[in-house]
Amino acid sequence: NKGKYEHYMQKEIHEQPESLTTTMRGRLKHGGSTKAKTVLLGGLKDHIKTIRRSRRILFIGCGTSYNAALAARPIIEELSGVPVTMEIASDLVDRQGPIYREDTAVFVSQSGETADTLLALEYALENGALCVGITNTVGSAIARNTHCGIHINAGCEIGVASTKAYTSQIVVMAMLALAIGDDAISSQARREAIIDGLFDLPNKVREVLNLDQEMKDLAKLLIAEQSLLVFGRGYNFATALEGALKVKEVSLMHSEGMLAGEMKHGPLALVDENLPIIVIATRDTCFSKQQSVIQQLHARKGRLIVVCSKGDAAAVCPGGSSSCRMIEVPQVEDCLQPVVNIIPLQLLAYHLTVLRGYNVDQPRNLAKSVTTQ
């Protein structure tokens, strides 16, 4: 049931304040005046010590689920101190990459039925790794065949383009980072700040959804473009990949997400006054580097659309907002910022698709659950 919405994708984008609340329900503990704020992940409680002691954590997934894991990677590394490697499921299987008994392999999948991810799971089980599932579907093959796991609880997702499952996956993995790092006194203040940020996240998401009309206006400007680049780094490299994936899969416009740190190693050659480029430049430790990326793109007359923190427009864009189009988003804890930042890009992909007259919930050639290799 689409309720007041025209399409499932639109409904699922707009219900993210609620889906995120459901994802966190019963899992965050406020702590009283004496108790510390903590996270409780029932499905992992017997395995958390093993995960903490593992030699390596591998994140394995496809498409949007892979991107969600990429967004969470920095906070998992920071709070666990365990090296994290990223694996696209099909590539891991193609290479038969080494996996050991001392590894924790985390399988991320909305449907829990993706054939590539399932094959990678079989492979990791054969090699003796501890296998953890992060899925949105109770009783799915990945949920059943992993040793332990966390349900995303985002609610049923119908649009082929994954939206609310993506933001809930990031929140689940941020909670996983908090749970793994729970025994370290040195990071307690950081963990508590993240927990406070999680409590407030649905409100911030509600706020960023107010950009709907602005993103529709931007979509009108971009409607006839052939191509769109999206640059991000750090926590928001994933935002660039995921924003570009959303645009290409539903609006059928060519779009590429790129690591801003790689800009000078090739992509800069594409920059001219015609190609639209989205740069993610919200406040975090990469901010000054992103400012210099913007200056370099500006010097080459790049057509810039910049996602920045609220109130930062003048500081971020060299010629002021007359030379760049600015999208201001609320600032949240750095590791949660990808949840906020993807929303204007989801809205852009949605409006571009509707304006271009394509099927937004059932893009051509795609299936919701990819059960064949």
Contacts with ligand M6R by CB under 6 A lie at 62-65, 109-111, 114, 117, 160-162, 245, 249, 366, 369-370
Supply the minimum distance, in Å, between the C-beta of residue 241 and ligand M6R. 11
User: Angle 151-156-158 (CA atoms, 0-180°, nearest 5)?
Assistant: 135
Supply the minimum distance, in Å, between the C-beta of residue 369 and ligand M6R. 6
Q: Give the list of residues 6+ apart from residue 118 with CB closer than 8 angstroms, or none.
A: 141, 142, 145
- Tokens for 249, please give them: 């899969």
Of 54 and 111, nearer to ligand M6R (C-beta) is 111
Supply the minimum distance, in Å, between the C-beta of residue 223 and ligand M6R. 21
Supply the minimum distance, in Å, between the C-beta of residue 65 and ligand M6R. 4
Supply the minimum distance, in Å, between the C-beta of residue 81 and ligand M6R. 28
Q: Residue with the closest Cβ to ligand M6R?
A: 63
Q: Which long-range contacts (CB under 8 A, 24 or more apart) does 321-330 make?
A: 323/298, 324/294, 324/298, 325/218, 327/211, 327/214, 327/215, 327/218, 329/208, 329/211, 329/282, 330/204, 330/207, 330/208
Q: How far, in Å, CA of 45 to CA of 47, rounded?
A: 6
Of 232 and 330, nearer to ligand M6R (C-beta) is 232
Of 87 and 182, nearer to ligand M6R (C-beta) is 87
Of 117 and 309, nearer to ligand M6R (C-beta) is 117
Of 201 and 241, nearer to ligand M6R (C-beta) is 241
Q: Give the list of residues 6+ apart from residue 324 with CB closer than 8 angstroms, or none.
A: 294, 298, 304, 305, 306, 316, 317
Closest C-alpha to 38, from 238, 178, 241: 178
Please answer whether residues 62 and 117 qualify as being in contact, where contact means their C-beta atoms are separated by less than 8 angstroms: yes
For 38, what's the count of Cα atoms within 13 Å in the CB-facing half-sphere?
A: 16
Supply the minimum distance, in Å, between the C-beta of residue 365 and ligand M6R. 11
Of 67 and 331, nearer to ligand M6R (C-beta) is 67
- Tokens for 112, please give them: 């829990």
Q: How many residues are there in the chain?
A: 373
Which residues on adjacent β-strands are paired with residue 253?
Answer: none
Supply the minimum distance, in Å, between the C-beta of residue 160 and ligand M6R. 5
Of 123 and 287, nearer to ligand M6R (C-beta) is 123
